[in-house]
A and B are shown apart, each in its own frame.
Chain A
Amino acid sequence: MINEIISMNGYGLYVWSAFSFTLISFGSLFLLTKLQLLKEQRKFVYKFGSLSTEKVRAAKKQYINKEILLGTLNSKI
């Protein structure tokens, strides 16, 4: 049964390489996108941390800034 699934009547090499290429592409794109997101989130936290109290107050008025900070803390993916 397992041998049949692997060899696929002689077409195994073609089928498995097509599926592998697809999944590797998915993994690479996901990792690259995730790394870019993390980089920007870290940059945002660093910049936010170096703001004066007055500027922090002004920045916090924008709801999206709070969301980004919250997202960075709770980020699971």
Chain B
Amino acid sequence: MLKFFEPNKIFLITSRAPKYVLFLFIIVLSIGLTEALILSPEDYKQSHSVRIMYVHVPSAWISLGIFSLIAFLSLGVFIFKNKNFSLISKSLAPSGFVFNIIALVTGAIWGKPTWGTWWAWDARITSMLILALFYLMYLLSWRIFENKEQVIKITSIIAILGFINVPIVKFSVDWWSTLHQTSSVNILSKTSIHSTMLIPLAIMTAAFTLFSILIFLMKYNTELIKIKNKGLDRL
């Protein structure tokens, strides 16, 4: 199964897929934006400010999901000694970081009309900021360290250590008394959000997922071509 993760085989798919993913992303995003900004109803308490949820929540979910994936792949680097896992992780990180920043900024914008403040050192917001710092450390390490073996080890350790923060982000609203509301969308228990809001949220999540796949594919292709460029020098 690990043979599937050989760069030569993956490149066959990753080099052709971006144009289809971009096309699909534009369609899904257009539907999502129409639903989120025009068709979905306003909240009885938060009025139209609730629409910020359609960019804030998917961004937070995806940034957490990408970091978890990076952590699992990093664990795979140590267990299976497969260096392509680190290449996949490296290509996933930029979009994860940008989604993390979007979640923090849109959260601050949402905070002002609902809580009366842009920022609070509340458990959920602070743990999301810590996640952004782990992303930053991870990305900077790839730039700072030049030794390939060393950088793979360092970035993998950062990702595995940073993963400790992921359940803290998720359960912070249950463990501590926070300004941030508890989750309205649950997989295991009852979802407390109405379908008129849940559908646009799902569409926007799908659009954001497609965007992260698009960036991953382009970044992964760049990294592979970089390797092949070095290979040409050695011929």
Hey, which bits of chain A sit against chain B, CB under 8 A?
5, 8-12, 14-15, 17-19, 21-22, 25-26, 29-30, 33-34, 36-37, 40-41, 43-44, 47-48, 51, 55, 58-59, 62-65, 67-68, 71, 76-77
B36-69 interface code vs A (CB 8 A; 1 in, 0 out): 1110001000011101100110010000000000
The one of A9, A37, A41, A71 that contacts B42, using a Cβ cutoff of 8 Å: A9
B-side contacts of A33, CB under 8 Å = 94, 215, 218-219, 222
Nearest residue, chain A, Cβ from B33: A19
**CB of B142 within 8 Å of the partner chain:** no
Given the contacts A22-B102, A29-B215, A33-B94, A14 and B113 also touching, CB distance less than 8 Å: yes
Q: In the complex, what distance in Å separates the CA atom of A35 from the CA atom of B93?
A: 17
Residues of chain B touching chain A, judged by Cβ–Cβ distance below 8 Å, are: 7-8, 11-12, 15, 18-19, 22, 33, 36-38, 42, 47-49, 51-52, 55-56, 59, 94-95, 98, 101-102, 105-106, 109-110, 112-113, 211, 214-215, 218-219, 221-222, 224-226, 228-229, 231-233, 235
22 contacts between A and B (CB under 8 A): A5-B37, A8-B47, A9-B47, A9-B48, A11-B49, A14-B109, A15-B49, A15-B51, A19-B51, A21-B106, A22-B102, A25-B102, A33-B215, A34-B218, A40-B225, A44-B232, A51-B232, A55-B235, A62-B8, A64-B228, A67-B11, A77-B218
- Interface residues of A, dominant DSSP: helix
Q: How far is the CB of B128 from chain A (nearest CB, A)?
A: 16
Q: Determine the chain A residues whose CB is within 8 A of the CB of B224 once the complex forms.
A: 64, 68
Residues from chain A with a CB closer than 8 A to the CB of B38 are 5
Q: How far is the CB of A53 from chain B (nearest CB, A)?
A: 12
**Selected contact of B225 from candidates A11, A62, A68, CB within 8 Å:** A68
Q: From residue A32, how far is it (CB to closest CB) to chain B in Å?
A: 8
A64 to B232, CA, bound (A): 12
Q: How far is the CA of A14 from the CA of B56 in the complex (A)?
A: 12
B12 surroundings in chain A (CB, below 8 A) = 67
When A14-B112, A67-B12 are in contact, do A43 and B229 touch as well, CB less than 8 Å?
yes
Residues in A with CB closer than 8 Å to B95 are 29
CB-CB nearest in chain B for A24: B102
